[in-house]
């Protein structure tokens, strides 16, 4: 089945605004609650299980004159997946 994008938004934000968004997601995960993503007329509710797969990726893309760096955080889940242990961010 091809990938279906349920929600997507991209805009410049301050570090503080990004931290607030990540903190809100972390609070929902900590509480075991579903996460509602909304922007403009888009909205989707996601309910990650207790042990989703958590991926962190740092990338460098493009040519030297048009280089872009990124950090991506992704939660993925399927029923029955197991936990591989903790990850730390310093």
33: tokens are: 């609650």
Q: What does 30-81 look like in DSSP terms, one character per residue?
A: HHT--EEEEETTEEEEE---SS-EEEEEEEEES-GGG-EEEEEEEEE--TT-
Q: What is the pLDDT of residues 56-86, one digit of tens each?
A: 999 999 988 899 999 999 999 985 554 555 6
Work out the average pLDDT over 40-46: 94
Instruction: Report the mean per-residue pLDDT for the chain.
Output: 90
- pTM confidence score: 0.79
């Amino acid at each position: 089945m091809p990938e279906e994008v349920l929600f997507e938004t991209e805009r410049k934000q301050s570090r503080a605004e990004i931290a607030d968004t990540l903190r809100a997601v972390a609070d929902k995960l900590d509480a075991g609650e579903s996460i509602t993503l909304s922007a403009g007329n888009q909205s989707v509710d996601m309910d990650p299980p207790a042990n989703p797969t958590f991926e962190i990726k740092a990338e460098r893309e493009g040519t030297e004159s048009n280089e872009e760096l990124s950090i991506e955080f992704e939660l993925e889940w399927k029923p029955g997946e197991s936990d591989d242990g903790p990850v730390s961010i310093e």
